[in-house]
Amino acid sequence: MQEEIYVTANGLEDMKKELEYLKMEKRPAVIEALKEARALGDLSENAEYDAARNEQAETESRIKTLEQMIENATVIEKNSTDKVSIGNTVEIEYVEDGDKDTYHIVGSQEADPFENKISNESPIAKAIIDLKVGEIGKVASPNGEYEVKVLNIQ
């Protein structure tokens, strides 16, 4: 049994687009490259053939991965802003120093720290999920626990 994969509607759409591209454009291009490399003759020392085979393996692996992810995807609906959950954008304050950050809590497949998208499996998300505005969560980290306060839920 595959575990559920949490994604936003946009994330699911992106996966479907990538899958379609791989099946309709990339796969045929790789097959054509294999045919051309095969036509060059001796396959034992044919770098083009080896490269095409490797690219084919990577493409097929990604197709299989995407198909499984799409099949097991649970789309995150726009949630209530009463308490923190997957799909919310949350402003938090680090209690110790007063610094503030805003994070969008997404499934692990969509996490992107450079865009402040954190996985629901991350320590901060685990600490604040189910909290309400004004409540404080304890975040487990390698350097010990620290506290964050939920300031706003969108």
Looking at residue 71, its pLDDT comes to 94
Q: Order across the sheet with 100-106: list the strands.
A: 117-119, 100-106, 89-94, 146-153, 136-139
Q: 148 in helix, strand or coil?
A: strand
**Residues 70, 93 within the same domain:** no
Confidence of residue 78 (pLDDT cuts 50, 70, 90): low
CATH (domain of 126) = 3.10.50.30
Identify the domain boundary among 75, 102, 132. Answer: 75
Is 83 part of any domain?
no
Buried b (16+ CB within 10 A) or exposed e, 6-39: bbbeebbeebeeebeebeeebeeebeebbeebee
CATH (domain of 51) = 1.10.287.180
**Residues 70, 96 within the same domain:** no
Is 81 part of any domain?
no
Question: Using CA atoms, how far apart are residues 16 and 136, in angstroms rounded to an integer?
Answer: 38
Identify the domain boundary among 46, 75, 104. Answer: 75
Confidence of residue 118 (pLDDT cuts 50, 70, 90): very high
Number of H helices, E strands in the chain: 4, 7
User: Angle between the 27-39 and 47-71 helix axes, to the nearest 10 degrees?
Assistant: 160
Is 41 part of any domain?
yes
Structure token pair of residue 93:
């304050």
Is 28 part of any domain?
yes
Give Cα 129 to chain centroid, integer Å.
Answer: 18
Is 84 part of any domain?
no
**Residues 70, 116 within the same domain:** no
Cα angle: 27, vertex 60, 23; to 5 degrees: 35
**Residues 11, 39 within the same domain:** yes
Mean pLDDT of the chain: 91
Count of the separate structural domains present in the chain? 2
Is 95 part of any domain?
yes
The kind and range of the H/E element at 132 are none
Confidence of residue 1 (pLDDT cuts 50, 70, 90): low
Structural domain containing residue 111: 89-153
